Amino acid sequence: MASLTLLIPTIICLQFHLLSLAFAQVNIGSTISTDNNGVWRSPSGHFALGFRALNNNTDPNTKLFMVAIWYDMIPDKTVVWSLKTDNKLATAPAGSQFRISSAGLTLAGPEGDSIWASNLASVVSVGSMLDTVDVYSFGVMLLEIICSRRSVLMMEAGEEEKAVLTDWACDCFVEGRIDVLVENDEEALSDYVRLQKWVEIAIWCIHEEPQMRPTMGIVMQMLEGLVEVPNPPSVMR
């Protein structure tokens, strides 16, 4: 992993690349499935919503997927959002469908069994896919830099807990295992105070409650050492 100190200017510059505004409509009745690799894209084509595989299994009985939004303009397809249920990653078997209806969004298994539903109070007439990226996306990017890995990896069966970087990072932080995130990288561990601070900043950025996340201005001040980083809550998701 590159020096944490040398990476600060790069991160400060990258934040400005994360700002854009646009809207795209998704018609009621639209469906995406694990079988057809369909996605809903934002107008610019920068972001896409769809299914992402969580493991390398070829057996459809054991292959798992998640619903996510990712940055679609780079090969790594950095995930900026993933669907959760009961504060845990919502996993879906092969053949599952994600659908928008007048009742909202639903995720159903191959037999039509409900995995997740948005349960909106009002009737939906149209959906919008946004081109807006908030501080959450910056937190994901920061974790990718710290951990030198993609935000989503296809894992072997039994190791799916490491597939989504944000979830795995939160688990490691809560359990006090930050060293695992950098795979015992001696250079990173030699600057453990800075490493811990960066992880804490990233954890704040990906807080499950949007109102709890700091603004980008505060994040930049934290990275530059102008503002003290408060201890994140013990449970982040």
CATH classification of the domain holding 189: 1.10.510.10
Chain centroid to CA 83: 9
- Residues 124 and 171 grouped into a single domain: no
Q: Name the nearest CA neighbour of 5 among 224, 230, 232.
A: 224
- Name the least confident of 57-61, 107-111, 126-130, 184-188: 126-130
The domain total for the chain is: 2
- Residues 141 and 203 grouped into a single domain: yes
- Residues 59 and 120 grouped into a single domain: yes
- Residues 115 and 161 grouped into a single domain: no
- pLDDT score recorded for residue 20: 37
- pLDDT score recorded for residue 213: 87
- Residues 41 and 73 grouped into a single domain: yes
Q: Does 178 reside within a domain? A: yes
- pLDDT score recorded for residue 192: 87
User: If you average pLDDT over residues 45-65, what whole number do you get?
Assistant: 86
Q: Give the end of a domain, one of 97, 130, 163.
A: 130
The pTM of this model reads: 0.54
Given its phi and psi angles, is residue 37 left (phi above 0), alpha (psi -120 to 50 degrees) or beta?
left
Q: Which residue has the higher pLDDT, 1 or 144?
A: 144
Confidence label for 93 from pLDDT (cuts 50, 70 and 90) = very high
Residue ranges making up the domain that contains 143: 4-16+134-223
- pLDDT score recorded for residue 9: 45
Q: Does 112 reside within a domain? A: yes
- Residues 27 and 102 grouped into a single domain: yes
- What are 120-167's pLDDT values in tens digits? 555 555 555 554 456 888 888 888 888 888 887 776 666 677 788 888
Q: Does 163 reside within a domain? A: yes
Confidence label for 234 from pLDDT (cuts 50, 70 and 90) = low
10, pLDDT greater than 50: no
- Residues 153 and 210 grouped into a single domain: yes
Q: Does 109 reside within a domain? A: yes
Q: Does 189 reside within a domain? A: yes
Q: Which residues pair with 215 in a beta bridge?
A: none
Q: Does 231 reside within a domain? A: no
82, pLDDT greater than 60: yes
Q: Does 30 reside within a domain? A: yes
Sequence-separated contacts (24+) of 231-235 with Cβ below 8 Å: 231/200, 232/173, 232/200, 232/203, 232/204, 232/207, 233/207, 234/174, 235/174
Q: Give the end of a domain, one of 130, 165, 192.
A: 130
User: If you average pLDDT over residues 41-46, what whole number do you get?
Assistant: 74
- Residues 37 and 8 grouped into a single domain: no
